[in-house]
Structure formats: C-alpha cells, structure tokens
C-alpha cells in the first residue's frame, strides 16, 4: 500500500519507519519541504521518499496527519477527497491556542479536521501512544489480544478496518472506540486510555 505522511515529528517519522519496514511505500512530508527530510528518508530506506505535503496526499492510499492541531487549516482540502486519513492529533491549548468550540466540548479535534477535509474518510488513531512505545512495543509474533493496544475511532467502518489492518501489520492491535465523536472524547489527553500501556485484552476490560 502507498502511505502519505504529513508531519515528520516523533509520531510521523516513527509511523513512516514502521510502515516502510512492513513493506509499504511511504512518502513523508513536512512544512519545510522535501530537502529538509533528506536524512530522515535515508534512515527509512528504499521504500521511502521525501515529498511536498500535497504530493504526499496524492501519493497515499492512506494518509497519516501528524501536525499540531493549530495548523490543521493549512492542509489543502481538495487532494484529500476520497482518501483514508489517520488523524494522530491531540488538542493542547498551550501549544495550539484556544479553540472555543473545543473548550466548550461542542466538538472534538478530529471532527474539526473532518469538517475541514470534508471529502476525506477520517480515522482517529496513534494519538494515545508515546512515540518511544510506538518504536519499541510492536510485536507481530504475539496474538492480537496480547499486543499493545492502539485506539482508533471513526464514522467509516471500512476505513477503520483498513487502518486496523495496518496497525496489526506493525505489531500492535487496534481497539475501536466508536465514532469520531465518541473516540474524540474518550481518546483525548487526560482520559483513561491516553498514554495507557495496555494490551488489547486489557483495553477491552478497561472499557
């Protein structure tokens, strides 16, 4: 599968490396342009390439968005039409600035992204796991129920199934938290699952 990565920080670069290792083609991008990613791509290997944001979106069958929430409106909506988009963002007011609708609990960060990228199929995921655990804890040798849980949410069941399969291919287990609204509330910082190191079996018991 072809996967576009928007954002080359701790989560974006780590996910890119894991997907490339699992045999997928990866195009990684950031706000500074492809030249700034030369060292990152060299480390990722022959299945990876540096790209502009727009070209990474066009490239990917699936696109991971891992940029600060406060910059989500910088994403060009048109290329995302029809794409499965994994939203790994969290709302941190001290970093992102205050969003009144989020502060009042009227919506969630993933719903904001879905509204902006109205033609995309948004799946929330990779937002509740520390990047170091993401690097170290995947193990494809384990049964799914014994693997570290990665929580997902979304309104498109087929998109969630595809994202869950990708998560399994890198050695984790996807645990479905429901709709974008439900997952947005239940997966945000400070909740019971945020940065919680649990297996899929433990996660289901926890929930």
In 3D space, the residue among 82, 60, 78 whose CA is nearest the CA of residue 12 turns out to be 60
Average pLDDT, the chain: 95
The greatest distance separating any two alpha carbons of the chain, rounded to the nearest whole angstrom, comes to 46
Could you give the CA distance from residue 148 to residue 134 in angstroms, rounded to a whole number?
A: 9
pLDDT over 90 at 84, yes or no: yes
* pLDDT in the model for residue 99: 94
* pLDDT in the model for residue 43: 87
Could you give the CA distance from residue 165 to residue 168 in angstroms, rounded to a whole number?
A: 5
Q: How far is CA 2 from the centre of its chain?
A: 15
* pLDDT in the model for residue 185: 93
* pLDDT in the model for residue 18: 97
20-38 pLDDT, tens digit each: 999 999 999 998 999 999 8
As given in the structure block, the two tokens for residue 196 are 């919680």
Q: What share of the chain is helix, strand, coil (3-state, %, to 5)?
A: 45, 20, 40
In 3D space, the residue among 75, 110, 116 whose CA is nearest the CA of residue 91 turns out to be 110
As given in the structure block, the two tokens for residue 153 are 């949410």
88-113 pLDDT, tens digit each: 999 999 999 999 999 999 999 999 99
Q: What pTM value is reported for the model? A: 0.95
What is the percentage of the chain residues whose pLDDT exceeds 90?
Answer: 92
Please state, in angstroms and as integers, the Cα–Cα distance from residue 25 to each residue in 2, 28, 47, following that order: 5, 10, 5
As given in the structure block, the two tokens for residue 200 are 């899929």
Rg of the chain (C-alpha set): 16
Neighbours of 46 (CB within 10 A): 8
Confidence of residue 77 (pLDDT cuts 50, 70, 90): very high
114-159 pLDDT, tens digit each: 999 999 999 999 999 999 999 999 999 999 999 999 999 999 999 9
Confidence of residue 204 (pLDDT cuts 50, 70, 90): confident
DSSP designation for 92: -
* pLDDT in the model for residue 206: 81
DSSP designation for 53: H
Block residue for tokens 């950031």? 30
């Amino acid at each position: 599968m072809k996967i576009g990565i928007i954002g080359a920080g701790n989560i974006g670069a780590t996910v890119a490396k894991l997907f490339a290792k699992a045999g997928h083609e990866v195009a990684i991008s950031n706000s500074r342009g492809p030249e700034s990613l030369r060292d990152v791509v060299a480390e990722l290997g022959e299945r990876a390439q540096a790209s502009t944001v727009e070209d990474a979106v066009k490239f990917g069958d699936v696109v991971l968005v891992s940029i600060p929430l406060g910059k989500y409106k910088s994403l060009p909506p048109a290329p995302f039409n029809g794409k499965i988009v994994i939203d790994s963002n969290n709302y941190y007011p001290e970093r992102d600035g205050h969003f009144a609708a989020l502060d009042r609990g009227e919506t969630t960060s993933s719903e904001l992204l879905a509204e902006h990228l109205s033609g995309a199929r948004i799946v929330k995921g990779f937002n509740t796991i520390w990047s170091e655990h993401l690097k170290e804890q995947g193990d494809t040798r384990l049964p799914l129920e014994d693997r570290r849980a990665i929580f997902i949410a979304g309104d498109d069941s087929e998109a969630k199934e595809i994202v869950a399969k990708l998560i399994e291919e890198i050695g984790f287990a996807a645990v479905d938290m429901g709709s974008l609204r439900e997952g947005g509330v239940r997966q945000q910082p400070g909740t019971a699952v945020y940065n919680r190191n649990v297996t899929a079996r433990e996660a289901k018991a926890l929930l």
